[in-house]
Structure 1
Amino acid sequence: MNPALNLTLWIVAGVLAAVLLVSTSKMFVPREKMAAVGHAAEWVLDFSPAALRVIGALELLAAAGLILPGVLDIAPVVVPVTATCVAVLFVGAAAMRLRRGERVTIAPDLVYLALAAFVAWGRFGPGSFTG
């Protein structure tokens, strides 16, 4: 395996995991308080508190799934599977932004989607843990 690709995949997976961990704040911060932060956060009002907790829990699991299987060498195939799921999550986020007419705030979701797709491609392909 190419060491530069491996390092890049680890860095990108770490950035995605950090983004997902920060995003789990929706599990603990009231929706109204989050929506008051700014226009980009008003989407939380479209979801019930229970739905936000589920989304936050999935993001927490995704953060763990991007890092722990590779670090612990326990079922490392979970990393690219998780990255694929994270890409699907951000497809949903981008679709929600489009539905809400928030075209300006869609850029970060598309960047995270591209990063997740890169990790999935890399870990399923040339940067596979099994290769």
Structure 2
Amino acid sequence: MNVALWVAQVLLAITFGSAGYLKATAPESFWPGAVPATLVRFIGLSELAGALGVLLPAAARIFPWLTPLAAAGLVMIMVLASAFHLSRGETQALSLTLGLGGLAAFVAWGRFRKAPIAAGS
């Protein structure tokens, strides 16, 4: 279980880190006008924070309780992303958002209940 959680955490960190970086740094002309650029940047920074949060606290064993909280935050981002894509009729994006949300939910559950990481000394 612990290995599966670490693999999931690394996958989430890579995926949300790269997506968050793109959203936080891409020029405004890159994004369609349906969403304010400020919101896109906020989502990008939130994804970057989540990417760091699912990996670094657990790896460093410094405040490891932040890892499942970061994963829960990523679940919320994916729930909102799914609603956004549904409202625009973009059903092809649902499999990715629901899959990532499920992976983040697995990490949140696993690090809260099944294999929590103890703080280092």
**Global fold match (TM > 0.5):** yes
2:53 maps to what in 1? 65
RMSD, matched Cα: 1.3
Name the CA distance, whole Å, in 2 between partners of 1:46 and 1:14. Answer: 32
Distance 1:107 1:31, change over 3 A: farther
CA contact (8 A) 2:17 2:52 kept: no
Residue 46 of structure 1: SS of its match in structure 2?
A: coil
Name the CA distance, whole Å, in 1 between partners of 2:92 and 2:44. Answer: 23
Work out which of the residue numbers 9, 17, 20 in structure 1 matches 2:16. 20
Residue 33 of structure 2: SS of its match in structure 1?
A: helix
- Give the partner amino acid of 1:49: A
1:29 maps to what in 2? 26
- Give the partner amino acid of 2:19: S
CA contact (8 A) 2:53 2:66 kept: yes
Name the CA distance, whole Å, in 2 between partners of 1:9 and 1:79. Answer: 11
1:72-96 per-residue CA deviation (whole Å, 9 max, x = no partner) reads 1111010001111110110000000
2:75 maps to what in 1? 87
Number of equivalenced pairs: 117
Question: 1:32, CA displacement in angstroms?
Answer: 3.5
TM-score normalised to the size of structure 2? 0.90
2:44 maps to what in 1? 56
1:101 maps to what in 2? 89
For structure 2, which runs of at least 5 residues remain unmatched after alignment? none
- Give the partner amino acid of 1:27: A
1:128 maps to what in 2? 116
Is 1:115 aligned to residue 103 of structure 2? yes
- Give the partner amino acid of 1:18: I
Name the CA distance, whole Å, in 2 between partners of 1:48 and 1:113. Answer: 24
- Give the partner amino acid of 2:108: A
